[in-house]
């Protein structure tokens, strides 16, 4: 291949460009009507009651931790195999991050490891869990919900990799990632390599009206034009005018722009078609690598994988990475375990703490996975991996 094949790539159409151009010609660039339209459409797509558009996925995680009451001393459990924002959001609020190992069969946070960790401490020691739908594989939140309810924990689902993904629980009930049926809050990202690209951007979903209203205020500095329960009129202002606002708590400017919302909404219109294409690409990879040294994770029939990433595991990961680069295939690694990052090592985490996560990291490589990957390009990627694995 003459042109590099990246591991992920956005797909911008003429319709997307027209949607953004319409905003640029209109009266609103920041807070306009496309934001609420995007929130409504996204909530309908996911199957939840409320959606809050924000600046990016990290902002979404931060605001969720604030709304859930994470403060200094709050202890939260998450996976080491994720982008660091899944843990950093707890630290932004002064909380303590505790990791639990992954299930080697799925690369997801291991419910048994979390249960063991929780049961080693008195009730109330931990406050919440941040499971991650890593690579697009939905976490079995039914099991996590049962554990959380037994120990008084909240659940914040990191669904950045999994819009459109779903799983069917043991009772035959289908749960769409982020639909609010099992997690208190869920978050999504609209980074260019994600399913829906808005340049940057994120979304929080929930079925909890109180959390929704709190999040709407937190994303806009903590300011509202609705008087609080204990707010007296400002001095010299017997009646409140249309300019009235009040800062009720310390929030952030984590708003999405109307331009980004228009792009996101345009992309959302073809989300199902793009998800189907990702799944078709994954099936072709699965078939090609079956029975080879390139180990893949194939979900069971009750799981609809969203395939943000397609990961193979090989013994000589560095060798395969370098070999593919010579072929103009820009494979990538997701992720270096968060507990091994220098920042988290200061809290006492060290190599050997989570052997499944560390073994996964030593062998994992993400192959090109995006809807516009052509059959010819994929055949070239497959042939190159198989050549190396011979």
Residues 6+ apart with CB under 8 A from 252: 59, 62, 63, 218, 219, 221
318 tagged catalytic: no
Share above pLDDT 70 across residues of the chain, in percent, rounded to a whole number:
97
The model's pLDDT over 242-254, given as tens digits with 9 standing for 90+, comes to 788 888 899 999 9
Q: What is the pLDDT of residue 224?
A: 87
From 194, 283, 318, 350, the catalytic residue? 194
Q: What is the pLDDT of residue 297?
A: 97
DSSP states along 341-384: SHHHHTTT--TTSSHHHHHHHHHEEEEP--TT--HHHHHHHHHH
The answer to whether residue 174 scores a pLDDT higher than 90 is: yes
Mean pLDDT confidence for 324-344: 98
- How far, in Å, CA of 298 to CA of 283, rounded? 9
pTM listed for this prediction: 0.96
- Is the CB of residue 144 less than 8 Å from the CB of residue 182? yes
Residues 6+ apart with CB under 8 A from 80: 99, 101, 102, 337, 338, 339, 340, 354, 357
Cis peptide before 335 (omega within 30 of 0): yes
Structural domains in the chain?
A: 5-267 (3.40.640.10), 271-389 (3.90.1150.10)
Using CA atoms, how far residue 232 sits from 238, 240, 241, 247, 250, in Å, is: 10, 11, 14, 13, 19
Provide the pLDDT confidence category of residue 110 given band limits of 50, 70 and 90: very high
Q: What is the pLDDT of residue 350?
A: 98
Provide the pLDDT confidence category of residue 363 given band limits of 50, 70 and 90: very high
Provide the pLDDT confidence category of residue 335 given band limits of 50, 70 and 90: very high
Using CA atoms, how far residue 191 sits from 4, 254, 343, 352, 353, in Å, is: 20, 15, 24, 32, 31
Q: What is the pLDDT of residue 377?
A: 98
Q: What is the pLDDT of residue 231?
A: 63
The answer to whether residue 8 scores a pLDDT higher than 90 is: yes
Using CA atoms, how far residue 231 sits from 215, 223, 238, in Å, is: 20, 13, 13
What is residue 173's DSSP assignment?
A: -
The answer to whether residue 126 scores a pLDDT higher than 90 is: yes
The answer to whether residue 230 scores a pLDDT higher than 60 is: no
Provide the pLDDT confidence category of residue 23 given band limits of 50, 70 and 90: very high
- Is the CB of residue 92 less than 8 Å from the CB of residue 62? yes
Using CA atoms, how far residue 65 sits from 62, 77, 98, 247, 298, in Å, is: 5, 12, 15, 20, 32
């Amino acid at each position: 291949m003459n042109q590099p094949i990246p591991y992920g790539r956005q797909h911008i159409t003429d319709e997307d460009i027209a949607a953004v151009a319409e905003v640029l010609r209109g009266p609103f660039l920041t807070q306009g009507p496309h934001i609420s339209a995007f929130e409504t459409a996204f909530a309908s797509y996911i199957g939840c009651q409320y959606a809050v558009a924000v600046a990016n996925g990290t902002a979404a995680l931060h605001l969720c931790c604030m709304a859930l009451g994470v403060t200094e001393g709050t202890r939260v459990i998450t996976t080491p195999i994720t982008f660091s924002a899944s843990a950093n959001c707890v630290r932004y609020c002064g909380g303590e991050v505790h990791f639990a190992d992954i299930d080697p069969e799925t690369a997801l946070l291991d419910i048994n490891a979390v249960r063991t960790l929780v049961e080693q401490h008195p009730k109330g020691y931990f406050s919440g869990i941040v499971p991650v739908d890593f690579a697009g594989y939905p976490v079995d939140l039914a099991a996590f919900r049962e554990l959380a309810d037994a120990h008084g924990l909240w659940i914040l689902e990191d669904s950045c990799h999994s819009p459109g993904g779903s799983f069917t629980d043991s009772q035959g009930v289908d749960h769409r990632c982020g639909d609010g049926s099992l997690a208190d809050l869920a978050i999504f990202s609209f980074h260019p390599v994600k399913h829906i690209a808005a340049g940057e951007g994120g979304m929080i979903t929930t079925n909890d009206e109180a959390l929704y209203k709190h999040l709407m205020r937190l994303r806009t500095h903590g300011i509202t034009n609705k008087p609080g329960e204990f707010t007296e009129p400002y001095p010299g202002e017997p009646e409140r005018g249309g300019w009235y606002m009040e800062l009720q708590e310390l929030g952030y400017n984590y708003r999405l722009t109307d331009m980004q919302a228009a792009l996101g909404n345009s992309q959302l219109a073809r989300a199902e078609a793009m998800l189907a294409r990702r799944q078709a690409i994954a099936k072709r990879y699965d078939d090609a690598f079956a029975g080879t040294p390139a180990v893949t994770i194939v979900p069971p029939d009750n799981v609809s994988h969203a395939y943000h990433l397609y990961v193979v595991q090989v013994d000589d990961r560095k060798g395969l990475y370098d070999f593919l680069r010579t072929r103009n295939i820009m494979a990538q690694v997701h992720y270096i375990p968060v507990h091994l990052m220098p920042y988290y090592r200061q809290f006492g985490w060290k190599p050997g703490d989570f052997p499944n996560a560390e073994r996964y990291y030593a062998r994992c490589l993400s192959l090109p996975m995006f809807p516009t990957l052509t059959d010819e390009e994929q055949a070239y990627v497959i042939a190159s991996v198989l050549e190396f694995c011979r």
